[in-house]
Amino acid sequence: MSSSSPCCCSCQNTFSPCSCDIFPVNSKITTKNRIDHFLARWGFNRSGHRVTPGLYQLGNPTADSLVFASANYTLSFDALRSNLKGIDAYILVLDTKGINVWCAAGKGTFGTDELVRRIESTALGQVVTHRTIIVPELGAPGIAAHEVKRRSGFTVQYGPVRAFSLPEYLKMGKATPEMRRITFPVKDRLVLAPIELVHIALPAVIVPIILWFLAGYVAALAAITAVLAGTVLFPLLLPFLPTKDFSMKGLILGGICAIPFSITYAGTSGLPLWALYAGATVPLLIIPPVVGYLALNFTGSTPFTSRTGVKKEIFRYIPIMTGMVGLGGIIGIALGISRLTGVI
């Protein structure tokens, strides 16, 4: 979406908001939109998936039409408008710096100040005769409804968690308990995997190559396994892994993934017993903390995590993970030197 041009019509001399400052939009998701969504999921041009903040008219709204609030992240905006098919309404887009509603609410960009500021800057009170704005429920942490009412005169009405529930929500005039419930099915968990893979792509390529030359293809495969376990397998198995701490879940999953590599090394022929034991220990020390560390990136994938909980996990488990990787690295280096010097 491009920014609106300066008002150039006759309405600039009236008290009504200029129609050329309201962006027209429809509910259709185009191929271009889908490509944008794909690129956003894979982390390409992460900060560029935005729409211009401001007021949008969906269809042919009147002064009595509903007003919905949204973030200026394209996936959030497109989810809203596509689920309002056949509904004439206004969409007030807040400047969340290209961040989705839930994350922006936590950061404060989808917040009371920005909502009030956007209501004022778009002269929303002159566009509609009512004083109600529907805000996504996941934006509630950032919105103080009583403050919005006091400062702007608009009453905040919290809509459902999911945009696809909007038609039923509007039909019923209220949200059912199911509409208020936050769930994280497999699809919602796995959709986060691509961007996590992209974030770790460079070391995920370099480290296996180095290990291939230093320790062979098994070590390289172990590194690749650790990355895939932490970014793809972990979100897939998240509900089935014991404990609530993501770090511990990751350590458990990493330990399971390390067992085949440990057994493989233990079965190597021609090595002294101490070398077999030492080599079998290395994957058990390195793979679990790598998976556990990557698992921390999925702390937003359940309803029972919090900022303080994540910080607590970091301070509790990172020293343990660092120690495990350090010890495993020392043993691995010692084995490598032993090979080079002919000790084993």
Report whether pLDDT(111) > 80.
yes
Last residue of a domain, one of 163, 182, 201: 182
Domain that holds residue 290: 188-341
Q: What is the CATH number of the domain that holds 88?
A: 3.40.50.11600
Q: How far is CA 326 from CA 44, 116, 287, in A?
A: 33, 51, 12
Instruction: Output the pLDDT for position 29.
Output: 95
What is the overall mean pLDDT for the chain? 88
Q: Name, in order, each residue with C-beta under 8 angstroms of 116's C-beta and a sequence gap of 6 or more.
A: 147, 148, 151, 152
Report whether pLDDT(331) > 60.
yes
Instruction: Output the pLDDT for position 301.
Output: 64
Report whether pLDDT(8) > 50.
no
Instruction: Output the pLDDT for position 9.
Output: 40
Q: How far is CA 81 from CA 20, 72, 164, in A?
A: 20, 12, 10
Last residue of a domain, one of 151, 182, 213: 182
Lowest mean pLDDT among 182-191, 224-233, 272-281: 182-191
Count of the separate structural domains present in the chain:
2
Instruction: Output the pLDDT for position 303.
Output: 61
Last residue of a domain, one of 182, 210, 233: 182
Lowest mean pLDDT among 66-80, 113-127, 160-174, 188-202: 188-202
Tell me whether residue 4 is in a domain.
Answer: no
Average pLDDT over residues 309-330: 90
